[in-house]
Chains A and B, each alone.
Chain A
């Protein structure tokens, strides 16, 4: 090789420079660390890197998904929220009461708070927001569903809003705590939807300054901020000058940007990087499981082979979820045995139903008539293979989860069950659901409170919304379950509510309509130069009012 020497000679200065750079880079973290007990410093811009899809609209009233909630939690506030202990507390509202028949709810609105465009917050402003959410032109999905029971409303005086309900709804205050029902300036809502999407106006500690599409949203401190509940944080305005909200979809790039100090906090952190970061002192971890449903796989009971409960039960015993969760999630996710997230106080777990037991799966399948095998080793019945179609939306599942599905596919094969995984983009995925072209599906659903059970398992939810989406993907249609959910959502008695929701959860678990996996994962990694991180909204999106940067 004649090239070797000159090449090496040419590369030598570069290599030396690279080594020097690495050594220098290795030194920097040591100089910036300091103890967390220092006093807050005002100033500096936080750079946040999101792995979620960039929202098409910054107003979470429109549509209503988690990426919107993440960014909107910085500039919009809600009527209610949850404190650090998970207790529902009034925020922009001062309190609320409900009539004896449960059909009239009165909400008291705080005074002395104004939106960043100068408009004052009052009952009429809240009414305008609810109207904005309920009018079809807004195309709200999450917020619209949450307020579905409202029949009419009336701003009695500046601080009193009276809501007339179609039927009693004991989850209304929980719904009020979600960013999808956040309160915006009524004056700003009157603008065109495009204008409002680009820069919604709220009462939050930051406000939207500019939005460079496919790059970042620039947020700046709201200099007129008033903390609704003075016990909830420091007095005055936010410590940070602003937040640069960047979009970095690639997980490895996002983590590298955090390591390099280019950004100070990332979301959608991958399990392996969380495990690696926990060994360092420069990167910290915030685990904020989302409320509402657990992350689960729904078994489509509307068609063969899952219209037979025996086959559903057999499938659940044929897959080894625990082994995969242990190896793929590096101890960052705990196995769930409940339809609800573990942060929901009313979650009911039943682990005895979900053991990995291929022998039992075999017996059940034999009993169900799937007792012959084809040349590939899969079970057959009347000449048809036991084959399950599993559309997976690549934008709604992290790589570790897709690997878990692949491992599920491999273990199910041992029991003679074929799983066909189709990795799809979001619109093709919705298409498959609309065409009922699935046997298995995993779809996240975030909502505050156990009323999410009605959205996921009530037979009404098998009827597609105008958008074509329906949330009852296991397609349970059980009149007794419907009745349970209806009563549970209307009762005023907290103990009865708990009992009814427990019965409902038992019913869907024992019917093998779903295979719970773990909580909806919501992990953040942040630089140790960022202090006082950890406050979140009721839907577990972080807020940065109390956060400061240690320069």
Chain B
């Protein structure tokens, strides 16, 4: 037996479509190249670093670990596009080769943060009053600690390294996501669609997986791109403090940290890795905001 779907009348004044919101300045639009310039620039930046992460030798054939003490502290120029560091290593090559660990740390940390958040958010939003209360308090406790401190505590307990950094950053970002997911789930739970499914006697598991989660998680794609930039910044901060990739790995935060000693002598050692971090974080943020304005609200 099946119940026919209700037919909604287009004449119903409540269902008249709202006028389209004005597009976000950086949003995807059909206004031509000029209108899309910020978006395109960001996409180009991300594409460059994505290629760098996947096939670094394509963009920088020079070995990022090859030392040359006599060529140390060379300023940016024809031989070394972005100069060399204190061991005569090529900065451009190190930035390109550093894209993989930096992006990987960012992506993996975001994945862990989101994964954990989906579980916590679902439990809170769909698990009933007591679970919601419990998870809510837990999140509040986590929120009470500054993010970096939480990551540092975790690293202090688990020991420094790339894996620990990834987990630490993931843990730190999870509470924020979890709250948003909980709110989304609660909103979906009250939607007519879910009410209808409940009336039809669908199981809770089915309602959750078929009706609530797909709708609640759609905005997550946007959150994830926004979180990526944030996670790269966090990871760079931890590496800067000497808690990330061990030497001589070309990791952006580590490069920034070793360059600051020579700030007065060789500004390029700090400037260019810093620029890479800023570019990736800014590009992914702008891009995610474009996605947010263009996508479903």
Give residues in A with beta carbon < 8 Å to B: 251-252, 255, 270, 272-273, 276, 320, 323-324, 326-328, 394, 399-400, 402-403, 405-407, 409-411, 420-423
Residues A272 and B69 in contact, CB atoms below 8 Å apart: no
Q: Is B29 part of the binding interface, using a Cβ–Cβ cutoff of 8 Å?
A: no
CB-CB under 8 A for A273 and B264, given A406-B87, A406-B247, A423-B242: yes
Known: A327-B70, A410-B65. 11 other contacts (CB 8 A): A252-B263, A272-B265, A276-B265, A323-B69, A327-B72, A327-B86, A399-B261, A405-B247, A410-B248, A423-B242, A423-B246
CA A323 to CA B88, docked complex, whole Å: 12
Residues B264 and A407 in contact, CB atoms below 8 Å apart: no
Taking CB atoms, residues of chain A closer than 8 Å to B67 are 406-407, 410-411
Residues A402 and B247 in contact, CB atoms below 8 Å apart: yes
Per-residue A-contact encoding for B235-272, CB less than 8 Å = 1, 0 else: 00000001000111000000000101111110000000
B71 closest partner in A (C-beta): A327
* Docked complex: B35-82 residues within 8 A CB-CB of A: 65-67, 69-70, 72
B261 to chain A, nearest CB (A): 4
Q: List, sorted by A's number, 19 A–B pairs whose CB atoms are closer than 8 Å.
A: A272-B261, A272-B262, A272-B265, A324-B69, A327-B70, A327-B72, A399-B258, A399-B261, A400-B86, A400-B261, A406-B67, A406-B247, A409-B247, A409-B248, A410-B66, A421-B246, A421-B247, A421-B248, A423-B247
Residues A422 and B246 in contact, CB atoms below 8 Å apart: yes
CA A324 to CA B88, docked complex, whole Å: 10
Instruction: Out of B246, B247, B264, name the residue touching A276 (CB < 8 Å).
Output: B264
CA A428 to CA B214, docked complex, whole Å: 47
Residues A323 and B70 in contact, CB atoms below 8 Å apart: yes
Taking CB atoms, residues of chain A closer than 8 Å to B66 are 410
CA A465 to CA B247, docked complex, whole Å: 32
B11 to chain A, nearest CB (A): 44
B262 closest partner in A (C-beta): A272
Taking CB atoms, residues of chain B closer than 8 Å to A423 are 242, 246-247
Taking CB atoms, residues of chain B closer than 8 Å to A421 are 246-248
Residues A394 and B242 in contact, CB atoms below 8 Å apart: yes
CA A405 to CA B274, docked complex, whole Å: 24
Taking CB atoms, residues of chain A closer than 8 Å to B258 are 399, 402-403
A399 closest partner in B (C-beta): B261
Residues A403 and B86 in contact, CB atoms below 8 Å apart: yes
CB-CB under 8 A for A251 and B261, given A400-B86, A406-B248, A410-B65: yes
Taking CB atoms, residues of chain B closer than 8 Å to A273 are 264
CA A121 to CA B182, docked complex, whole Å: 74
CA A370 to CA B236, docked complex, whole Å: 39
B192 to chain A, nearest CB (A): 44
Taking CB atoms, residues of chain A closer than 8 Å to B87 are 324, 327, 403, 406-407, 410
Taking CB atoms, residues of chain B closer than 8 Å to A272 are 261-262, 264-265
Tell me how many residues of B have a C-beta within 8 Å of chain A.
Answer: 20
* Docked complex: B83-99 residues within 8 A CB-CB of A: 86-88
Taking CB atoms, residues of chain B closer than 8 Å to A323 are 69-70
CA A179 to CA B146, docked complex, whole Å: 42
Taking CB atoms, residues of chain A closer than 8 Å to B262 are 272
Q: Which of A406, A422, A423 has the most CB of B within 10 A?
A: A406
Taking CB atoms, residues of chain B closer than 8 Å to A251 are 261
CA A421 to CA B248, docked complex, whole Å: 9
Taking CB atoms, residues of chain A closer than 8 Å to B88 are 327
CA A407 to CA B89, docked complex, whole Å: 10
CA A407 to CA B69, docked complex, whole Å: 8
B94 to chain A, nearest CB (A): 12
Taking CB atoms, residues of chain B closer than 8 Å to A406 are 67, 87, 247-248
Taking CB atoms, residues of chain A closer than 8 Å to B65 are 410
CA A327 to CA B265, docked complex, whole Å: 13
Residues A327 and B69 in contact, CB atoms below 8 Å apart: yes
Taking CB atoms, residues of chain B closer than 8 Å to A400 are 86, 261
Residues A270 and B242 in contact, CB atoms below 8 Å apart: no
CA A421 to CA B258, docked complex, whole Å: 15
List 4 A-B pairs, minimum CB-CB distance, nearest first. Answer: A327-B69, A399-B261, A323-B69, A410-B67
Taking CB atoms, residues of chain B closer than 8 Å to A422 are 246
Instruction: Out of B69, B246, B247, B248, name the residue touching A326 (CB < 8 Å).
Output: B69
Taking CB atoms, residues of chain A closer than 8 Å to B72 are 327-328
B243 to chain A, nearest CB (A): 9
CA A320 to CA B69, docked complex, whole Å: 10
Residues B261 and A270 in contact, CB atoms below 8 Å apart: yes
A403 closest partner in B (C-beta): B86
A420 closest partner in B (C-beta): B246
CA A394 to CA B248, docked complex, whole Å: 15
B36 to chain A, nearest CB (A): 16
B101 to chain A, nearest CB (A): 16
CA A270 to CA B263, docked complex, whole Å: 12
Taking CB atoms, residues of chain A closer than 8 Å to B248 are 406, 409-410, 421
Q: Which of A272, A320, A409, A420 has the most CB of B within 10 A?
A: A272
B291 to chain A, nearest CB (A): 23
CA A276 to CA B261, docked complex, whole Å: 13
Taking CB atoms, residues of chain B closer than 8 Å to A276 are 264-265
Taking CB atoms, residues of chain B closer than 8 Å to A252 are 260-261, 263-264
Taking CB atoms, residues of chain B closer than 8 Å to A410 are 65-67, 87, 248
A256 closest partner in B (C-beta): B264
B63 closest partner in A (C-beta): A410
B242 to chain A, nearest CB (A): 6
Taking CB atoms, residues of chain A closer than 8 Å to B263 are 252
A185 to chain B, nearest CB (A): 40
B242 closest partner in A (C-beta): A423
A356 to chain B, nearest CB (A): 12
A259 to chain B, nearest CB (A): 9
B70 to chain A, nearest CB (A): 6
Taking CB atoms, residues of chain B closer than 8 Å to A324 are 69, 87
CA A406 to CA B281, docked complex, whole Å: 29
Instruction: Out of B69, B247, B264, name the residue touching A255 (CB < 8 Å).
Output: B264
Q: Which of B86, B262, B264 has the most CB of A within 10 A?
A: B86
CA A400 to CA B87, docked complex, whole Å: 10
A323 closest partner in B (C-beta): B69
B260 to chain A, nearest CB (A): 6
Taking CB atoms, residues of chain A closer than 8 Å to B260 are 252
A266 to chain B, nearest CB (A): 14
